[in-house]
Chain A
């Protein structure tokens, strides 16, 4: 059996006295959508931040097997991105003053830097750089087309409506050519139709581009419909791990969401209350 695309082993993250993640282990595979769910404050985004190098895990090993083997817990954020992990953010982080197209070109920064010898070739207008830039624009055009953003390509990213910004952020992450795409609540703030489109798109990314997706999501409609594998967190600990069907019927999960007494108001989530406002 070959190593999974991403293996998380015994990951713990401590902030002072708070143990945000407690000995978490799971794996995410190629061509699979893995969802991490859990009530608010369960540590989902912290897992993402550890994976993408924004936090240094207190304990644990994060192994990305993408051709080579990368130990993400030792790497700086930008090197993790180069190793093949792209992410989106819970509260969208675009480059608002730059145009939509520029956002997608920036995502291909490293390839363009290599093609232009750290921009020198571009300074002297060498053909080598021009070709690389054309290729980058082609890839951007593909994703703009796919996301229905081709008409607004030259507008500033910050001017776009909310749903477009969400899609642009996914397009930008895909232009980074990742092996693992981490999406932090991609359906947040989308209306039901946009959310359904998102499902189709995420499945297509999985099937056509053959990459692994790691998803944090509150919208149970999205999660149950498209996930191949779900990891449930509660207070930083894994309480369930399995197929959507298995997770849905897991008593520990039901307890975490509905609570065995009235200390939790996250019950709305389990029946898919749908879109959370931004």
Chain B
């Protein structure tokens, strides 16, 4: 019996590997045949198809060998898996040193615009990252804390952006006056959407919210009298620093560079915008960290964990979920009005479903409910495609691959460690409000 089994045991892994790799190569062949193997272009007004079978062969062989290598590495290196377990401790380590890390990160982001490497482009990219960090933190309330899968978050972003754009262009209201109004509008839309759909759960809720996001975008596209339709709204007022504008000169009053007696430079406005979004994002972070420790935040988490038990403890599920929706939407609205102020022009094209998907992947990738995780994920998701600009058409491919790899490596997100909001033992019972976790 042993004699019979031994060769089989020796032989079967090789066969299994070859089979698996062969299957993968077959899939690659099927996919690559039209994508790589055939290339169409027009010559003299005629469509010509060129075959590139040598490239096709290379692609299939690479996939085959890659798959074999992947399987071998997985079998031959159990240490790798142990390494993965070690990596899982990162979340805990980051949580332990959160104060120091937070302070260091805060110092970095505060000083960033004045560092030698920071040119206009870098500051602008950081601003973009911070918008997504803020959106991620806002959506984290809905998805991470309350456990409501929202695929239409971009709708609230759009509501915020359009609120400011319309108020700013029609009534000449300033950014700072419109910011709370935009937040309130978005929160109102959150309640409006939330009220009818909160009895739905999981997948059903996701589909309805997705539909809501599309409805908002389509209304903005088609209601030309109201929103300018596909042409969007331009000439949106720029934010000012206590009334000081970032222009070369204004008709009345002073501009920023005149008031401070410095040379006019376009980068001032970029840096100012960076600080505005940094402040808004920090406000969001402070709010979320704080509310997690309050009854309403704990009720959100309880609802996420077990709705039936929450109800049996006297938690009103409808109001609690609505508050999560409204607050999440409010921060989306803030971010939206900042977005409108930053670009000076908005159109429905900026608020497509892919934006919702990106924000949601930031939350999921970061580890649901983790604030620092959202920062890391936002940095990864926004910076990686930026850095890969040279690869132009392949950058989304690399991006997708990176996402898949992260989800294999850390299926519960980069940082999935959850720290209790209140402790009975240790660290003086309560860690106190201030200072925890920077951006």
- A residues with a Cβ closer than 8 A to B are 52-54, 77-79, 81-82, 86-87, 89, 93-99, 101-102, 105-107, 109-110, 112-113, 116, 118-119, 122-123, 125, 129, 133, 137, 140-141, 144, 150, 153-154, 156, 172-173, 176
Contacts of A137 in B (CB 8 A): 422, 424, 429
Contacts of A96 in B (CB 8 A): 305-306
Which of B294, B310, B422 contacts A123 (CB under 8 A)? Answer: B294
A176 touches B423 (CB 8 A): no
B37 CB–A CB distance under 8 Å: no
B86 CB–A CB distance under 8 Å: no
**Which B295-330 residues have a C-beta within 8 angstroms of A?**
295-299, 301-302, 305-306, 308-317
B291 CB–A CB distance under 8 Å: yes
- B residues with a Cβ closer than 8 A to A are 287, 290-291, 293-299, 301-302, 305-306, 308-317, 418, 420-426, 429, 433
A105 touches B317 (CB 8 A): no
B421 touches A95 (CB 8 A): no
Which of A93, A97, A119, A140 contacts B309 (CB under 8 A)? Answer: A93
Q: A97-B301, A105-B422, A119-B295 are in contact. Are A176 and B433 (CB under 8 A)?
A: no
B295 touches A109 (CB 8 A): yes
B311 touches A97 (CB 8 A): no
Closest to B310 in A: A106
Closest to B309 in A: A93
> In the complex, A97→B417 CA distance in Å?
10
> In the complex, A204→B423 CA distance in Å?
28
> In the complex, A77→B313 CA distance in Å?
9
Q: How far is the CB of B183 from chain A (nearest CB, A)?
A: 15
A102 touches B306 (CB 8 A): no
B313 touches A98 (CB 8 A): no
Closest to A53 in B: B311
A95 touches B302 (CB 8 A): yes
Q: A106-B310, A153-B425 are in contact. Are A78 and B296 (CB under 8 A)?
A: no
Which of B305, B317, B425 contacts A98 (CB under 8 A)? Answer: B305
B294 touches A102 (CB 8 A): no
A113 touches B295 (CB 8 A): yes
B311 touches A94 (CB 8 A): no
> In the complex, A101→B287 CA distance in Å?
23
Contacts of B295 in A (CB 8 A): 109, 112-113, 116, 119, 122
Task: Pick 19 A–B contacts, CB within 8 A, sort by A.
Answer: A78-B313, A78-B317, A86-B313, A93-B312, A97-B305, A98-B302, A105-B422, A106-B301, A109-B295, A109-B299, A119-B291, A119-B295, A122-B294, A122-B295, A153-B424, A154-B424, A156-B418, A156-B420, A173-B313
B312 touches A87 (CB 8 A): yes
Q: A97-B301, A106-B310 are in contact. Are A118 and B425 (CB under 8 A)?
A: no
Closest to B297 in A: A119
Closest to A133 in B: B422
B306 touches A118 (CB 8 A): no
6 closest pairs, A vs B, by CB?
Answer: A81-B314, A95-B305, A99-B420, A153-B424, A93-B309, A112-B295
Q: How far is the CB of A246 from chain B (nearest CB, A)?
A: 32
> In the complex, A52→B311 CA distance in Å?
9
Closest to B314 in A: A81
Interface centre among A53, A77, A112, A172 (most CB of B within 10 A): A77
Q: A109-B295, A109-B313, A123-B291 are in contact. List 4 more A-B contacts (CB 8 A).
A: A94-B306, A119-B296, A123-B294, A154-B420
> In the complex, A101→B296 CA distance in Å?
16
Contacts of A53 in B (CB 8 A): 311
Q: A93-B309, A101-B422, A123-B290 are in contact. Are A109 and B301 (CB under 8 A)?
A: no
Closest to B301 in A: A98
Closest to A92 in B: B309
> In the complex, A81→B309 CA distance in Å?
11
Interface centre among B290, B299, B301, B305 (most CB of A within 10 A): B305
Closest to B305 in A: A95
B296 touches A113 (CB 8 A): yes
B291 touches A101 (CB 8 A): no
Closest to B425 in A: A154
> In the complex, A86→B314 CA distance in Å?
9
B311 touches A116 (CB 8 A): no
Closest to B296 in A: A119
B302 touches A82 (CB 8 A): no
Interface centre among B306, B420, B429 (most CB of A within 10 A): B420
Q: A106-B299, A106-B302, A119-B295 are in contact. Are A101 and B420 (CB under 8 A)?
A: yes
A122 touches B314 (CB 8 A): no
Contacts of A172 in B (CB 8 A): 313
B310 touches A102 (CB 8 A): no
Interface centre among A81, A116, A173 (most CB of B within 10 A): A81
A89 touches B305 (CB 8 A): no
